[in-house]
Every structure is written in structure tokens, then in C-alpha cells.
Amino acid sequence: MSAPQSPVGFTPTGTIATHKDRRRVVFATVVGTTVEWYDFFIYAQAAALVFATLFFEPAGTGFAQILAFITVGISFLFRPLGAFLAGHLGDKYGRRLVLMLTLILMGVATTLVGLLPTYAAIGIAAPILLIVLRILQGISAGGEWGGAVLMAVEHAPKGKRGLFGASPQIGVPLGLLLASGIMGLMAVIAPGEAFLEWGWRVPFLLSFVLILVGYYIRRRVEESPVFVELAERKQQTRMPIVQLFKRHALLVLLAALVFAGNNAVGYMTTGGYIQRYATDPAGPVGLTTADVLGAVTLSAVTWLVFTWIAGWLSDLIGRRTTYIIGWIALFVGVFAVFPLVNTGNVMLLALGLIILTVGLGFTYGPQAALYTELFPASIRFSGVSISYAIGAILGGAFAPTIAQALVQATGGTMAVTWYLAGMVALGLVGSLLLRDRSGIPLGPDHEEEQSASPIYGRAQA
């Protein structure tokens, strides 16, 4: 173990004790993750709506759209790098430092996308710079989630970890709601060619303001009490990532599968695929951009509600049982969504997305508490972040690209439905192989208990 090292301005100042302080933590994690995912999702929205034309048009109409979706997926390949860096920093120097750094990185990258010249202006340099900025977003996203989750859950009362852990989780549907809402508003304010010329840039430039708000709020939050205790005892792990893979490699994989099932389905909207599919003038649906973004925004509200409900319910019936309910609901949603989208009726499209959000919420709300309770305190940030990043690669990274390719190859959406159903099945398997550890002590005094394997059939990690 190494001596505690805290950068100037990030020295731990004590543990959370009051209800007021806990509310501040919840508020800060909600706002911060909302801003982060807003930034991440407006890129996906723009990739679905304008990037093929503005940055990849020389590749030809069909392939240009696939390239635009590939840039969405490329960022996921760099999430593990962000997770490795954040895990190392978070386990050695604290959760709050990482949250500040990731917020700034995401905001700068997003704002620069809004200022980027197109292919027509600077040629091949335009898509190259776009990809570089998307990579920076991926690094930031890879480190953000773990820090936000641990700040929320490690501050929570023992019997409310699921509820507190749902606070960073609802940042995803809130980010989608904000991204879809502002993109939809700009599609109304600047329709047609105006949206293509400048309207899409406004949501990216707005990120600069949001990042200042998020930074101010997060700066006022105390460090996690678990990390404070580790630092005071000089018990930070010198090489947390090495210890993680040496002792818990299989656990990381199973935790990643749990998230992959949810993430692949979620990226049908957060990755922009349904938005593109439903608005393609050459496709079978042919709805307007504003109508589709409005339906996605509505579904983000219901996703938020079911995510919050699932976090609360997991404190009552356990994480594992809540997940199983969620996977069943997600199977229903997967088989319902495309038949409803293909009707070409915007109300039925909205209904399909709302049905989908029931399962999405139930398989996302408990994730923060589930992941936090799986890993020992000294390597928890690394375990949580890396499991999440690997799950994102296996799940949502190229889900829109795969869906686009399947539709182009088969001429219909049934292949996409079976692909998503297969990912849901993988998530269910991962959940069934993990024991429920709701309520396990999280502090460094209980490392031995935390190190016992939660995998069925394995007694000790």
C-alpha cells in the first residue's frame, strides 16, 4: 500500500453525516452525469441526422451513414482506456478528482465538435478531427460513470444504496431527454437546410455553459467516506488494476455481460439508430425529424421513471430479482418496438419506445448498487469502471452499426430484433450467475468479506 496522495484542492475533508449533505451528493451526481451524457448523446443524434452528409458524403449515401455510426462506436473502444486511467486515479487519489477531470474533458471535446469545419471546407481533415474528438469523449465517458456511482452509493445509507445509486443512472435518460429535446427544438427553429448548415451546432456549443454549471456543483461535494477512510489508513492499492485482473477477472467479465445486454438495446435510441431509421426519406417509415425526436424525448422521461423505480425496488427485493424482472420486460420490449415503429405512426412509435423503457429502466436502475457491492473497497473504482467499459464495448459500441448493416442486408428489421434478443439473453445469464450482495459492508474493514467471490460455484476470489 502507498501513502495517501491528494492533489491540491482535492484533499478529503471528512465523511458525509447529514441528510442535507446526502441530498447534495445525489443532486451533484444527477447534474454531473446528465451533462456528461447530454454531451455524449448529442454526438449520436448528430451522427444519425447530419454527419453522414457533412463529414462522410464522398463515401456514398449508404456507406456514409455506416461510417457515421462507426464513429459513434469508435469512442467505446477507448472507454477502457478512460476506465483504466480513472480507476487508477480514483483508487489512489479519490473519486472527486476523477469526476472533475472527466467533466472538463467531455465538455471541451463536445464544444469543439460544434466548431468543427465540414468536409466541404477542409477535406479529409474534417472526419479525422471529428473522430479524434469522439475518442476524447469516449475516454471521458469511460472514467465518468465509475466515479459518479461510487460517490452516490458509498455515501448512501445501507438500506438505500439502490435508490441513491439510481441518481447517476437517471443521468442517462436525462441526458437523452435534454439532447433529444434541444436537437428537436433546433429542428423546429432551423428546419431543412438551416439545420444542416448551423442548427445542429447549437446543442454542441451549449455544452460549454452546461459544463460550467456541472463543475460548480460537483466542486462543492465532499469526497467519498470509503476513500477518506482508505486514505487515512494509508490503504490505497499501489496497482489496483493488476490486483483486479489477478483476483477478479471472471467477475469483471460477468458484470460486463450484465451491462452489455442493457446497453445494446439502449443504444437503439441513445446511439441514434431509430432516429435515423424512422426519418430516412428512402426508408419504410418516413417520419419527420421533429416528430421522432419528440417521441424519443418522451421515452426518455419514462426511462428515467422506471430507472428510479428499479433502484428503489432493488432495496426491497434485491438487485438480482429486480434484474430478472427487467430482462423479462426487455424481451417484451425488443419484440414490440420495431413492429410499432414500422407502422409509420408517430404515436405508435412513441408507444414502442415507452414499452422498451420499462425493461431498460429495470436493468439499469440497480446497476450502480450491484457493481459497487461486487468489488472490494481498495480496487472498487477500477472494478466498477472497467466492467462498465467492457460491457459498453460488447453491448452498445457498434449496435447502431450492426443494426444498419442487418437492415441493409435483409431488407427488414427482424434480424435486428433477434440480435437484440440475443444480447438480452447474455445479460440474463450474467445476472443469474451472480449472487445478490445487497447490504454487504462497503468499508475497508470488510475487505475479506468483499473479496469472497459473488459468482455461483466459486467460494473465494
The per-residue pLDDT for 431 is: 96
CB 269 within 8 A of CB 299: yes
pLDDT tens, position by position, 387-419:
998 998 899 888 988 998 999 999 999 999 999
Which set of grid coordinates corresponds to residue 335? 419484440
The per-residue pLDDT for 312 is: 96
Q: Which residues contact 43 (CB under 8 A, 6 or more apart)?
A: 72, 75, 110, 113, 134, 137
Where the chain has pLDDT below 70, the residues are: 1-18, 227, 230-238, 458-461
Which set of grid coordinates corresponds to residue 82? 478512460
pTM given for the model: 0.82
The per-residue pLDDT for 15 is: 45
What are the CA-CA distances from residue 4 to residues 1, 94, 208, 238 (Å)? Answer: 9, 10, 33, 10
The per-residue pLDDT for 3 is: 35
DSSP-derived 3-state class of residue 133: helix
DSSP-derived 3-state class of residue 395: coil
Nearest of 139, 214, 171 to residue 33 by alpha carbon: 171
User: How many whole angstroms separate alpha carbon 304 and alpha carbon 210?
Assistant: 20
Nearest of 262, 227, 265, 241 to residue 384 by alpha carbon: 241
The per-residue pLDDT for 189 is: 93
DSSP 198: I
Burial-class residue 394 by CB neighbours within 10 Å (0-12, 13-18, 19+): buried
Phi–psi pair at 366, nearest 5 degrees: -85, 0
CB 1 within 8 A of CB 238: yes
Which domains are assigned to the chain?
Answer: 19-451 (1.20.1250.20)
Phi–psi pair at 411, nearest 5 degrees: 80, 10
CB 142 within 8 A of CB 385: yes
User: How many whole angstroms separate alpha carbon 80 and alpha carbon 141?
Assistant: 10
